[in-house]
Amino acid sequence: MSAAEDLSLEYRPFSLDLVEPLETADGTIASRDGFLVRLVDEADDGSDGAGDEPAVGYGEATPLPGWTESREDCERALERAQEALRTDGPSEALEAVDRQVAARHALSLALADLQATRESTPLYRYLGQGPMVGRVPVNATIGDGSPDETVAAARAAVDRGFTTCKLKVGLRSVEDDIERVRRVREAVGDRIELRADANEAWTFEEAQSALEGFADCGVSILEQPLPAGALEGHADLRKESRGVSIALDEGLLEHGVDAICDAGAADVVVLKPMALGGIDVARQVAAWLSELEVAPLVTTTIDGVVARTGAVHLAAAIPDVPACGLATGDLLATDLGRDPVLIEKGSAVVPQAKGLGVADVWGDR
Ligand SMILES: O=C(O)CCC(=O)c1ccccc1C(=O)O
Ligand SMILES: [Mg+2]
């Protein structure tokens, strides 16, 4: 960044309700509260001929209890970042929020959006320096409901063009979950990929029975069946997984890549940029996982349009990424602004405009 730059960080709170609460084994998500962040280069008066407006970058901090710092800690961290940016600069501001992952996510995303915008490059190419990517595959996210509700939601997703559905499981008995999955399989046919996410709900024995039943239903991936701490448990499950891939999500935050790979605990690892501290961090983790032959997959934490679009750019910077949990915009009743990402035929269409490609989220200027 240029020495002449004079970046200022602004943030404002938001609260977004879900259309209906998302039921998971780890609790119910009814609304997402966070902070929209904007970086403005006050030194850039547009007189360089690049445009009439100063360059702007957007970020989003949407903390989620259990996954990130609290909302209060996030707000304090953003306050610190604001001050550090004013007195010292971007690197110092990032350092000041190093341990508040949602706040760091917002600041790093805003910095990357600003820089990619200055370079007139879509964010995913600024991140990955890779080829043009038109689409990334995505899954539908289906909450833990009754068998009838689950079947209806899966049918609706398939009607909208999804070819992969991820079902939340683990709230009821394993037998009931197997029955739910069996009913969904019956309803959608053999060509739809089905995954399940237990959010740490099961004991080893329960996970064994679930795997057996799910394997018979052709489930492709079982995400986080055991508590995050159970590294060896997941490694043991993998040895009898009957073709079902084991994914770790919560486990990544607890153990990190090296421990997971050393233990042989996962076929797939879920990357949530909001929980990892930013798409820059998540991209490094993805590269390391690929090197160790574990597949990285990207999901949101049910975020607003700014963070969600950032996650789409991250997925587009990962070569051959499997279907990702990025089609979560429809779960929100309201959003921070217009969605630049079209979800179509089971894919997210990657924005090719400069930066994030998100506009009209701040309202003024
Ligand atoms: O992966 C998806 O389809 C959507 C994201 C998702 O399921 C999720 C959303 C918020 C918090 C936790 C999780 C999770 O994957 O466990
Ligand atoms: Mg998960």
What is the Cα–Cα distance from 68 to 28, expressed in whole angstroms?
16
Q: Whose atoms come closest to the Cα of 165: which ligand? A: 1
Q: Which residue's alpha carbon is nearest to atom 6 within ligand 1?
A: 301
**Gap from CA of 301 to ligand 1 centroid (Å):** 6
**Gap from CA of 8 to ligand 1 centroid (Å):** 32
Does the CB atom of residue 68 touch ligand 1 within 6 A?
no
State the CB neighbour count (10 A cutoff) for residue 34. 30
- Residue 72 CB contacts under 8 Å (≥ 6 apart), including other chains: none
Q: Which residue's alpha carbon is nearest to atom 4 within ligand 1?
A: 325
**Gap from CA of 142 to ligand 1 centroid (Å):** 10
Ligand 1 atom nearest residue 328's Cα: 4
pLDDT at 2: 45
**Gap from CA of 360 to ligand 1 centroid (Å):** 26
Q: Which amino acid is at 245?
A: S
Q: Which residue's alpha carbon is nearest to atom 8 within ligand 1?
A: 301
State the CB neighbour count (10 A cutoff) for residue 299. 26
Q: Give, for ligand 1, the residue of 23, 24, 144, 252 to mutate: max count of ligand atoms closer than 8 Å to Cβ.
A: 24
Does the CB atom of residue 164 touch ligand 1 within 6 A?
no
pLDDT at 46: 55
Nearest of 118, 104, 180 to residue 147 by alpha carbon: 180
- Residue 152 CB contacts under 8 Å (≥ 6 apart), including other chains: none
Does residue 272 have an active-site annotation? yes
What is the Cα–Cα distance from 49 to 43, expressed in whole angstroms?
14
pLDDT at 43: 77
pLDDT at 1: 47
State the CB neighbour count (10 A cutoff) for residue 72. 9
Ligand 1 atom nearest residue 140's Cα: 3
H or E element at residue 122: none
Does the CB atom of residue 62 touch ligand 1 within 6 A?
no
CA dihedral (237, 185, 319, 124) positive or negative:
negative
Does residue 239 have an active-site annotation? no
Which residues are part of a known binding site for Mg(2+)?
A: 197, 223, 249
Indicate the domain borders of the chain: 7-121, 135-349
Q: Whose atoms come closest to the Cα of 268: which ligand? A: 2
Fold of 7-121: Enolase-like; domain 1 (3.30.390)
Q: Which residue's alpha carbon is nearest to atom 2 within ligand 1?
A: 325
What is the Cα–Cα distance from 279 to 307, expressed in whole angstroms?
9
**Residues paired with 18 in a beta bridge:** 332
Q: Which residue's alpha carbon is nearest to atom 9 within ligand 1?
A: 301
pTM for this model (two decimals): 0.96
**Gap from CA of 271 to ligand 1 centroid (Å):** 10
Does the CB atom of residue 328 touch ligand 1 within 6 A?
yes
Tokens of 258: 């090296």
Q: Whose atoms come closest to the Cα of 143: which ligand? A: 1
Q: What is the pLDDT of residues 129-167, one digit of tens each?
A: 889 999 999 999 999 999 999 999 999 999 999 999 999
Q: Which residue's alpha carbon is nearest to atom 1 within ligand 1?
A: 325
Does the CB atom of residue 139 touch ligand 1 within 6 A?
yes
- Residue 346 CB contacts under 8 Å (≥ 6 apart), including other chains: 137, 138, 161, 162, 163, 164, 323
CA 208 to chain centre: 28
**Binned average pLDDT, 10 residues per bin, the chain of 365 residues:** 73 98 96 97 64 84 97 98 96 98 98 96 94 97 97 98 98 97 98 98 98 98 98 97 97 97 98 98 98 98 98 97 98 97 98 95 74
Nearest of 273, 316, 269 to residue 288 by alpha carbon: 269
Nearest of 189, 202, 287 to residue 246 by alpha carbon: 202
Tell me 346's DSSP state: T
H or E element at residue 298: strand 295-298
Tell me 199's DSSP state: T
pLDDT at 53: 72
**Gap from CA of 216 to ligand 1 centroid (Å):** 24
Q: Whose atoms come closest to the Cα of 247: which ligand? A: 2
Q: What is the pLDDT of residues 236-266, one digit of tens each?
A: 999 999 999 999 999 999 999 999 999 999 9
What is the Cα–Cα distance from 191 to 189, expressed in whole angstroms?
6
CATH of 135-349, one of 3.20.20.120, 3.30.1360.200, 3.90.580.10, 3.50.50.60: 3.20.20.120
**Residues paired with 16 in a beta bridge:** 32
